[in-house]
Structure formats: structure tokens, C-alpha cells
Amino acid sequence: MSIQTNPVPKLTLGPVLFHWPAERMQDFYARIADEAPVDIVYLGEIVCSKRAPFFDPLLPDIIERLQRGGKEVVLSSRALVMTAREARLAAQQIDGAGETGFAVEANDLGAVRQLAGQPHVIGPYVNVYNEGTLNYLVRQGAVRVCLPPELPGETVSALAAAAPVPLEVLAFGRMPLAISARCFHARAEGLHKDSCRYACGADLDGRTVHTLDGEAFLAINGTQTLSQTCLNLIGELPGLMAAGIRHFRLSPQALDMVAVGRLFRAVLDGDMPVEQAEAGLAALAGDLRFSNGFIHGREGRALLTARHGGAASQSAA
């Protein structure tokens, strides 16, 4: 197994975080395989093990379609393993991936331990905040590390300068903030987690949570807490590339991700001005509100402007 480390910027697609219907999932990946200018696709149910029986049977056909489309496939592990059964399933996934030659993305330290000594990818759910942690993970076998989305740009640049392996950043999509043993979707419907009726399936992009004053605050996705805003770092791509970042991840949302990928690819390749790509994303976003605060050391939900030409000069929450 090998993972490409070519310095040419690569566009990656993270795993679908939401409980989409099987038909939608199949159609989504068919378009990604045939039309999206992404190099690497991460696959797997990382949020809730109860969803896996709906998605896992689709994987062989999806993988085959993606590979025919020239995509590299990486299998993503669960972000939170709580029961003995989930631990067994996680171990089986890692063993199975090794037998078939697929790379695995570790999203918790249990997976990191199981993968020690084998080439693997570190996902954004593992907190890599400093060079010491980064170097430890590389010694365990990590060949690429996707940084957590909350890191400020100065830290990203410092890690990129010190990294012995390629680094990846989340560049588009609702940001993962936390994951819990409790299912927020079930609780919101007055249900228990064990009898949740898959309430999360009603919200293709997650369910917005409002404050007591009615302000949109966060989004819930089953056991996962996400940002209410959609991260958009298309204006930061030139600066991130200059800092040494070469992998940029798009997290699937319920919009035209092929079109999103084309806009990011055009900026990465220098074929489109950032301003034009930003306008294109705004037209695609619908009700999703963009943000980029974390990369500028601000609150994550902030959107700062005039950023591709240097330091941000203005912000709006």
C-alpha cells in the first residue's frame, strides 16, 4: 500500500457525515466518481455504528466506481468507539482494509494504536496541535495528517514547516466540533438512543440548534456536534499552499459537491481568480452561511474578508 506524496496540490473528499438514504448515497458517489476533480475519497460511517448496516453493503460498488473514475480510496474509522461490539467491528475494518490494500484513516487513538507500524492517515478527530504530537504519530506510521479545523493559521504554518509528512486541512463543509455518547437527534425527538428511529435521517445537512434568543448557534448530526456555519477556505488557498499545505479536504454537504470541487480545483490550479470562485460558491450555498474565523485566530463562525491578498482586514460574525 502506498499513499501519494506528490507536491502538486490535491483535493480530497471527506466521508459523508450525515445519514443519507441509500439511493442518494449511491447517486452522490457515482457523480463524484465520474465528474468531480478530487484525487482522494474517504469512505466510511464515522459518526454512528447504528447507521453502518445501511451504508456498508453499498461500499463494494461505490469503491469499484470510484476506482474506475481514477480516485484513490481511503477507509475512515469511527470517531468514537464505545462498546465491545464497536471495538470488534473497528478491528475487523482495519484488518480487512489491510488485506485488501486500502489505506485507513484513524479518527481516534484506539485506531492509531491498532494501526501502529502500518502506513495510515490521521483524521481531523485526532487532536494534533503541536510538533510533538505530530512527530509521535509519524513514528507510529502516519503518512499523512489531516489537522483539526480549529487551528489558527500560524499553527498550521508552523506544523507544515516541521512536518515530515504531507498535511491536510479541511477547506469546506460544516466543521466537526465534538462527538458524544448521547444522540442529540433522538433526544430532540423525545426518543432514547437505542430506539432513535434514525431521526437524524430527516436532516440531510444536520439540524440547526438555536439559542434561547432564536439565534442559529450549532448543528447536530446524531451524536455529533457541528458548526452551524459552513467552513469556506477558498480565499485562503493561496496562503495555505505557500505555507506548504498540499491536501485540501471538502466535507460533503447536501448541495452540488461536484460544482464545489470544480471551483476549488480551479483555484488550486491557478485557473480562476479567488473572487470569481467565491462568487460561485455563494451561488451554490443556498441557506448555508460561510465562515473562516478559526484560521485567522478568531471565533470559528466569523467570516473575514480581503484574505487572499494578505491578512484579513475586516470581519463579520
233 in Cβ contact with 168 (< 8 Å):
no
Alpha helices in 144-273 (DSSP H): 153-162, 184-188, 237-243, 257-268
Task: Give pLDDT, residue 1.
Answer: 41
Q: Let me know if residue 109 belongs to a domain.
A: yes
Tens digit of each residue's pLDDT (9 = 90 or more) over 138-154? 999 999 999 999 999 99
Tell me which residue of 137, 138, 129, 136 sits closest to 159, measured CA to CA. Answer: 129
Task: Give pLDDT, residue 213.
Answer: 95
Q: Work out how many domains the chain is built from and give that number.
A: 1
- Which DSSP string do the residues of 117-131 spell out, in sequence order? TS-EEE-TTS---SH
Q: Let me know if residue 201 belongs to a domain.
A: no
Q: Let me know if residue 311 belongs to a domain.
A: yes
Task: Give pLDDT, residue 308.
Answer: 47
CATH number, domain containing residue 302: 3.20.20.70
Its domain, for residue 146, covers: 10-175+230-316
**What whole-number distance in Å separates Cα of residue 299 and Cα of residue 292?**
9
Q: Let me know if residue 127 belongs to a domain.
A: yes
Q: How confident is the model at residue 97 (pLDDT cuts 50, 70, 90)?
A: confident
Q: Let me know if residue 295 belongs to a domain.
A: yes
Mean pLDDT of the chain: 93
Q: Residue 284 pLDDT more than 90? A: yes
Coarse DSSP helix, strand, coil percentages of the chain, rounded to the nearest 5 percent:
40, 20, 40
Q: Let me know if residue 259 belongs to a domain.
A: yes
- According to DSSP, residue 301 is labeled T
Q: Let me know if residue 186 belongs to a domain.
A: no
Q: How confident is the model at residue 314 (pLDDT cuts 50, 70, 90)?
A: very low
Q: Let me know if residue 106 belongs to a domain.
A: yes
Q: How confident is the model at residue 254 (pLDDT cuts 50, 70, 90)?
A: very high
| SS3 sequence of 189-254 | CCCCHHHCCCHHHHCCCCEEEECCCCCEEEEEECCEEEEEEEEECHHHHHHHHHHCCCEEEECCCC
Task: Give pLDDT, residue 32.
Answer: 99
Task: Give pLDDT, residue 7.
Answer: 76
Task: Give pLDDT, residue 305.
Answer: 79
Q: How confident is the model at residue 99 (pLDDT cuts 50, 70, 90)?
A: confident
Q: Residue 286 pLDDT more than 70? A: yes
Choice between 287 and 261, residue whose per-residue pLDDT is larger: 261
Tens digit of each residue's pLDDT (9 = 90 or more) over 128-137? 999 999 999 9
